[in-house]
A and B are shown apart, each in its own frame.
Chain A
């Protein structure tokens, strides 16, 4: 059972380049999320999708776009990467049948923008 799978695991970009981070879950969850983790900042929500076809901004959406391709997949796109976007990115999913449902996380993508 794979859970939440993120690709790639590592990436180095030059300033101004674009890229898409991929995420897929096999737990039939409705909700999916993208977080970024920076030292001393915890995890901050970039975007989330409560169901297929819907997306909403989180705490730090600037510079990012997302696509909920289908129920399984939720991608994060950086159109023009900046050094401030150097971070570790985590995708997560949860069933939102109840507010008490927890999120399941992928292994992360470590992105460096030079």
Chain B
């Protein structure tokens, strides 16, 4: 069965520092992977998705993620954190039937000045 594991429930960085949020997946078929962001008291917004077209995926707000099959990983990065990046981030994988998203437990990103 498909699943995702997000390493680290809370990550803290300084403004201008590299952001690295980790996601590992388990899938019996080629995976479709997603990163979502949730700002306080809001719904989830898609940051980027991997659908096998390219291993390095660029998303909104300067985020990108690299699909590494050998490591079963899909880590999210941003070269320089901004205060506005403070939010909760979720990694997700499509289930085997392709009918629903399975989410990780989330990582809260804090950015300090």
Contacts and interface: CB of A to CB of B under 8 A. Distances in A.
Interface residues of A, number: 27
B49 A100 contact: yes
Interface string B69-89: 000000000000000000000
B103 A43 contact: yes
Most buried by B among A40, A102, A105: A102
Interface in B79-113: 90, 94, 98-106
A45 B46 CA distance: 17
B98 A96 contact: yes
B32 A40 contact: no
B59 to A, nearest CB: 11
A96 to B, nearest CB: 7
A30 B52 CA distance: 23
Contacts of A45: 100-102
Interface residues on B, range: 20 to 34
Given A43-B90, A107-B43, A102 B49 contact: yes
A103 B43 CA distance: 11
B100 A33 contact: yes
Nearest to A50: B99
A55 to B, nearest CB: 11
Contacts of A107: 42-43
Interface in A72-98: 90, 92, 96, 98
Contact of A100 (B41, B51, B100): B51
Given A41-B105, A42-B104, A58-B100, A100 B9 contact: no
A100 B29 CA distance: 13
Interface of A: 4, 31, 33, 35, 40-45, 48, 50, 56, 58, 90, 92, 96, 98-100, 102-108
19 contacts: A31-B99, A31-B100, A33-B100, A40-B106, A42-B104, A43-B103, A45-B102, A48-B99, A90-B43, A90-B44, A99-B51, A100-B32, A100-B49, A100-B52, A102-B46, A104-B46, A105-B45, A107-B43, A108-B41
